[in-house]
């Protein structure tokens, strides 16, 4: 008897070699995110990642050549997801201070939606770049610099439109805001049941508003 699944499999267009390669590469990256969150960077091997992805144990090496190259791809993928949900250009009519506050809200909302496992992977890579994986340090540093630069742009915009106090040091404020949200996320990852990240988001926005808002 011919089933509908048989019919679909016969009529569905066959993937090209490039599409199959891209799919297997993406599955390796997704598997790496999962395995690193459970075992850390140092405790993870390319062979294990390939097996978790559902392919041969050598596929991760075939695609990336080295563990460091795969970790670069993991960081790039996590950044791509983050930019897709958070680092969108603010609406033209949104004032600078409101754009900063929206960034904080969108950042923490995205983290809650992504879940602690995915965010644990990023924090593992951050911390291990300081110890057992120094080759990762430039990758993580670039990620942080990109985040700060985005916030600096919002603050400069707020100073120009009069919603942020004119004496605010945009670079220093970007460091502080990044530290606030990352610190909150770190505590949430450690104790997701004990940290209400959405309540923290509201309080963080209130603190930032109080600290940055221009005098009436």
* Annotated domain spans of the chain: 13-65, 75-216
What value does the mean pLDDT of the chain take? 86
Helix axes 67-85, 17-39, angle to 10 degrees: 90
Q: Using an 8 Å Cβ cutoff, are 46 and 70 in contact?
A: yes
* CATH classification code of 13-65: 1.10.10.60
Does residue 175 contact residue 152 with C-beta atoms inside 8 Å?
no
* Domain 75-216 in the same topology as domain 13-65: no
In the prediction, which pLDDT does 6 show? 56
Give CA torsion, residues 101, 106, 107, 111, to 10 deg.
150
C-alpha–C-alpha distance, residues 48 and 57, integer Å: 6
Who's near 122: CB < 8 A, 6+ residues apart?
Answer: 75, 78
Residue 89: per-residue pLDDT: 65
The CATH class for the domain spanning 75-216 reads mainly alpha
**pLDDT at residue 157, rounded to an integer:** 94
Per-residue model confidence as pLDDT tens digits over 33-88: 888 888 888 888 888 888 888 877 787 888 888 888 888 888 888 888 887 777 66
Residues of the chain under the 70 pLDDT cut: 1-13, 87-92
Can you give the pTM of this predicted structure? 0.81
Pairwise CA distance, residues 204 & 13, whole Å: 50
Radius of gyration of the chain (CA): 21
């Amino acid at each position: 008897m011919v089933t509908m699944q048989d019919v679909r499999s016969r009529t569905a267009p066959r993937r090209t070699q490039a599409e199959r390669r891209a799919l297997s590469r993406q599955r390796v990256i997704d598997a790496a995110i999962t395995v690193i969150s459970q075992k850390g960077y140092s405790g993870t091997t390319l062979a294990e990642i390939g097996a978790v992805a559902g392919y041969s144990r050598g596929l991760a090496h075939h695609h990336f050549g080295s563990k460091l190259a795969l970790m670069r791809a993991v960081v790039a993928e996590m950044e791509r997801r983050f930019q897709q949900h958070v680092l969108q250009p603010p609406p033209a009519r949104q004032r600078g201070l409101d754009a900063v506050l929206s960034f904080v809200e969108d950042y923490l909302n995205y983290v809650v939606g992504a879940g602690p496992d995915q965010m644990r992977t990023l924090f593992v890579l951050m911390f291990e770049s300081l110890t057992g994986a120094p080759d990762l340090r430039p990758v993580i540093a670039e990620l942080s610099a990109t985040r700060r630069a985005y916030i600096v742009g919002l603050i400069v915009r707020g100073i120009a439109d009069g919603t942020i106090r004119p004496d605010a040091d945009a670079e220093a404020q970007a460091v502080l805001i990044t530290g606030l949200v990352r610190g909150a996320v770190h505590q949430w990852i450690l104790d997701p049941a004990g940290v209400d990240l959405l309540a923290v988001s509201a309080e963080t926005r209130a603190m930032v508003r109080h600290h940055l808002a221009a005098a009436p």
